[in-house]
Structure 1
Amino acid sequence: MPRTPSRRTVLRGLTVTGAAVAAFDTASRSWAATAAESETASSASATSTTLAKVPRLDGTLLTDASSLTAAADDYGHIVHRRPAAVLRPGSVRDVVAMVRFCNDHRLPVAPRGQGHSPFGQAQAEDGLVIETAPLSGIGSVNTASRTVTVGAGAKWSAVARATLAQGLTPPVFTDYLELSVGGTLSVGGLGGQAHRVGAQVDNVTELQVVTGAGELVRCSPSRRADLFRAVLAGLGQCAVIVEATLRLVPAPTTVRRYQLTYGDLATFLDDQRVLVREGRFDYVEGQVHADAAGTFGVHVLEAVAYGPPVGPAPDDAALLRGLRHDPATVQIADQPYYDFLDRLAPVIAAMKEAGIWGFAHPWLNLMLPGASAAALGAQVLNGLTPADVGPGAVILFYPLLRDRLTTPLLRTSDDEMSYLFDILSAAAPDDTTAVDRLLAVNRSAYDTVAAAGGTHYPVGSIPLTPADWQAHFGPAWAGLQSAKCTYDPRGILVPGQGIFD
């Protein structure tokens, strides 16, 4: 029988709220959940030598079934690793205290923002999941330095609204705004603006993090720079982000969106290449759709020009000069800047209403070398049909210039240009055959692209080994490995990524 403390001892340990955890039994590796449970257990035990008392917290530590079940799932609905407890922090101090506690007792830890990971990356089996959503504060916008400091749990939509009130904006956004700042900074944060201004991780001036050893640290390019470099796009391996200071730029009031249709992949990608090399547009991406024959033969290039006050009124003829799209299909529209940023909101609402949001999402996210992007993309797409990728699936191409991406752990190909190639598949969550087939497709596509000098963007569902990860990070591997040993010496952080043995 696990030894537990008295009710009086438990209540000295923390403020109990709801189903709050009281202590951890180091012998049985289990939690004593409530004061009442501890009282019952203690009646059968004379001592409590194996019990480690949970630190006093401003928030709540939970072990109820509902909290654990939620933390054992994510947007992918493929991997389910049940944690032992969930921390809903009331302060950064709670994160420090519980990471230190878990380090002392060798319990795995994973921060979780909006739970948008598709393959168990933010899960921690038999460990602690830290919900970062309560850490959502947004500080005053510093118009002099053009920065804003925000909590890791803040959503990008809230950051955008707060900064736009001062005429400023983060320079790059992922297409879906309801993701957390800490979440996207841990993977990179790519969007259609990245070809001009870099990824979100390239536009951070300072971080506050909690290392795997439970140390609260501020880091920047000039202060603990090794940790700063290891955290940005570091997949949570060295520290938990709790706060970030973001660079801001002047915001446009309106934008002009162009949609151009192409009949073949190579021409479509070539025109994307022209646009980003010449810097004609502020935002460039592309989508692939099914044609009447049921093949992926429709290619839509989306480009956006920012208007005043950050740029002149867009000149349609100049911006589209020399492109080889079908002129009969051109669509041009003006809209407010925030409406453009949040353009997926009605799409997501429709997906949720249709139930597709709850489907399994075995996503494929690859970095294709520019020189062979058309051939590689065609090789993957030629083996798929719309039925294969499921309802609501999206196929994307983002052109990226290597010299704009300066964060060491955000890996691309060695070519001057890479293309982020996404197949955002969906399958009924109980259709394990379809999910397994798509995971196999993902692995095969990854092997093909890696052999050609490409890699992947680590927000997808590709079964990988530690050896694959070492190859992925390439010349940056030694720095990450060294930082892991320094800042997470017991290896407790984010085991769901599967990077280290």
Structure 2
Amino acid sequence: MSRIPSRRTVLRGLAVSGAAVIGFDPATRSWAATTSESGTTLAGIPQLDGTLVTDASSLAAAADDYGHIVHHRPLAVLRPGSVRDVVAMVRFCNEHCLPVAPRGQGHSPFGQAQVQGGLVIETATLAEIGPLGPDSTTVTVGAGAKWSDVAKATTAHGLTPPVFTDYLELSVGGTLSVGGLGGQAHRHGAQVDNVTELRVVTGAGQLVRCSPSRRPDLFHAVLAGLGQCGIIVEATLRLVRAPATVRHYHLTYDDLATFLDDQRILAQEGRFDCVEGQVHADADGAFRVYALDAVAYGPPVGPAPDDTALLSGLRHDPATVQYEDRPYYDFLNRLAPWVAAAKETGVWTYAHPWLNLMLPGTSAATVSARVLNALTPADLGPMGVILFYPLRRDRLTTPLLRTSDEAVSYLFDVLSAAPPDDTAAVDRLLASNRAAYEATAEAGGTHYPVGSIPFTPADWRTHFGPAWPALESAKRTYDPQGILVPGQGVF
């Protein structure tokens, strides 16, 4: 039974060419601005604190992302004024079998947060950061809060989340939906391993609080669950003491296996707080210059860094050692100049057919060498980046964050950029990504699902492996109509 929308709903509701949309026509699966547009009874729009829009520019923005490769156009975009709005619109979409996807900062590269003919929920308005004090052990934040803002709020009290992605301008809900990996993960696990509680809107439109002890099936299905069972609207994050300053070391290697082995040693020994690395092209255009980044936190987290002890036994070229001391937040936000340059030069608008693999430690050098030997600077594109992060299996405790079964794995990222109109280059890179994934899977690895690898539902079952039955059961329980996040292609 439809209801008559209130004047407040009409004024705050959808706008199409200046006319307020008053309802949804289930027969044509479209929004209607007047009752004369349809011969059927319209389904009334829920009363909202925020806005629901269908203007062309909003729909076009929601049909794009950082990848600029996939374009699925929704019917509408919700900018919620409250969690109640998310509940109301998910219930509405569940009733009418409309697909739904939350969107944080739109940084997905392959249409993961897009929906064809459905509703995109922009979470940026759900960005509140809860109260903090010097003795706080957790902080509760809205899903749309950016990690940069969380870091600023917590470091003001001498506290910090233990793990950050390199790029801070991502939403909390977005990274928790995929895992959230960074250079600190070898010590503290992923961001999902440092969540104590969630508030989630399920696919059935129920607002549920969950934790490891309260609705644990939902909690474990949502963290790194790609949005398949619920939309994160709030998360409580674990906090640790923040250093005032850090010492950032840059070490250079000329051998891939040695470089990776030193990363493994540092991950297992835990002598540094952050470990990652990059690969650069040499003068001949071959990718065989390996740079290891290792960061030691200073007081009050640890003692003043001892260079000799920290670098002891490593097999880098000693003549190339560089280090710098910098404030902790400046270190966290170290990509800011790169991002500014990418936006200024237009590289930000390029297509980004990214490759993100989880390589087993024992075969990481062999598998990655195949990719690197076939890669050219033109393939990587302007300002493209190649990254390695060592990961310890015993620190990754979230069931749906899949990696190899070995004690140490490596996150291997080839973050390419190509002109968006060069479809041949994009298609070629996507095919290369698929081939690299297949070689990784054959070696016992998988992928980190933030990139651009063509995947089928069968691939997803293989990806989740022993965790698949629990995810499939949670999907049936919490999203029985199957409306959530179809862009991932999991179900």
When normalised by structure 1's length, the TM-score is: 0.95
2:278 corresponds in structure 1 to: 287
Distance 2:22 2:254 in 1: 63
Superposed counterparts of 1:148-297, under 5 Å: 148-297=139-288
Conservation of the 8 A alpha-carbon contact between 1:10 and 1:23: no
Does residue 497 of the first structure (1) align with residue 488 of the second (2)? yes
2:23 corresponds in structure 1 to: 23
Does residue 11 of the first structure (1) align with residue 12 of the second (2)? no
1:374 corresponds in structure 2 to: 365
Distance 1:40 1:12, change over 3 A: farther
Conservation of the 8 A alpha-carbon contact between 1:108 and 1:494: yes
Distance 1:374 1:331 in 2: 25
Which of 82, 85, 104 is matched with 1:91 structurally?
82
Deviation at 1:12, TM superposition (A): 6.8
Conservation of the 8 A alpha-carbon contact between 1:229 and 1:407: yes
Distance 2:234 2:133 in 1: 16
Conservation of the 8 A alpha-carbon contact between 1:368 and 1:419: yes
Conservation of the 8 A alpha-carbon contact between 2:134 and 2:158: no
1:34-63 Cα offsets, whole Å, 9 max, x none, are xxx316537xx5xx42x1101000011111
Matched AA of 1:85: A
Does residue 362 of the first structure (1) align with residue 353 of the second (2)? yes
Distance 1:234 1:464 in 2: 16
1:379-412 Cα offsets, whole Å, 9 max, x none, are 1111111111211110000000000000000000
Superposed counterparts of 1:410-425, under 5 Å: 410-425=401-416
Superposed counterparts of 1:399-410, under 5 Å: 399-410=390-401
Matched AA of 1:24: F
Does residue 467 of the first structure (1) align with residue 462 of the second (2)? no
Distance 1:145 1:9 in 2: 44
Distance 1:473 1:23 in 2: 40
SS in structure 1 at match of 2:326: strand
1:73 corresponds in structure 2 to: 64
Matched AA of 2:260: L
Tell me how many residue pairs correspond in the alignment: 486
Deviation at 1:11, TM superposition (A): 3.3
Distance 1:113 1:264, change over 3 A: same
Conservation of the 8 A alpha-carbon contact between 2:202 and 2:229: yes
Distance 1:97 1:422 in 2: 38
Distance 1:145 1:252 in 2: 16
Deviation at 1:131, TM superposition (A): 0.2
Distance 1:415 1:18 in 2: 51
Conservation of the 8 A alpha-carbon contact between 1:142 and 1:148: no
1:249-287 Cα offsets, whole Å, 9 max, x none, are 000000000000000100100111111111110000000
Deviation at 1:368, TM superposition (A): 0.2
RMSD: 1.4
Deviation at 1:143, TM superposition (A): 4.4
Conservation of the 8 A alpha-carbon contact between 1:14 and 1:55: no
SS in structure 1 at match of 2:34: helix
Superposed counterparts of 1:113-152, under 5 Å: 113-141=104-132, 143-152=134-143
1:336 corresponds in structure 2 to: 327
Matched AA of 2:210: C
Distance 1:21 1:235 in 2: 31
Does residue 315 of the first structure (1) align with residue 306 of the second (2)? yes
Conservation of the 8 A alpha-carbon contact between 1:15 and 1:56: no
1:51-90 Cα offsets, whole Å, 9 max, x none, are 1101000011111101100000000000000000000100
Matched AA of 2:130: G
Deviation at 1:21, TM superposition (A): 3.7
Distance 1:124 1:270, change over 3 A: same
SS in structure 2 at match of 1:281: coil
Distance 1:12 1:174, change over 3 A: closer
Superposed counterparts of 1:59-70, under 5 Å: 59-70=50-61
Deviation at 1:145, TM superposition (A): 4.6
Matched AA of 1:60: T
Distance 2:209 2:136 in 1: 18
Deviation at 1:292, TM superposition (A): 0.4
SS in structure 2 at match of 1:133: helix
Distance 1:12 1:147 in 2: 37
Distance 1:12 1:273, change over 3 A: closer
1:482 corresponds in structure 2 to: 473
Distance 2:214 2:71 in 1: 38
Conservation of the 8 A alpha-carbon contact between 2:5 and 2:46: no
Does residue 41 of the first structure (1) align with residue 41 of the second (2)? no
Distance 2:328 2:233 in 1: 28
Distance 1:71 1:226, change over 3 A: same
Structure 2 unaligned blocks of 5 or more:
none
Does residue 455 of the first structure (1) align with residue 446 of the second (2)? yes
Distance 2:7 2:31 in 1: 15
Structure 1 unaligned blocks of 5 or more:
none
Matched AA of 1:238: C
Conservation of the 8 A alpha-carbon contact between 1:21 and 1:61: no
Matched AA of 2:471: L
2:387 corresponds in structure 1 to: 396
SS in structure 2 at match of 1:478: helix
Identity of aligned residues (%): 77
Distance 1:335 1:12 in 2: 51
Conservation of the 8 A alpha-carbon contact between 2:5 and 2:45: no
Distance 1:347 1:71 in 2: 25
Deviation at 1:16, TM superposition (A): 3.1
When normalised by structure 2's length, the TM-score is: 0.97
Distance 2:437 2:325 in 1: 38
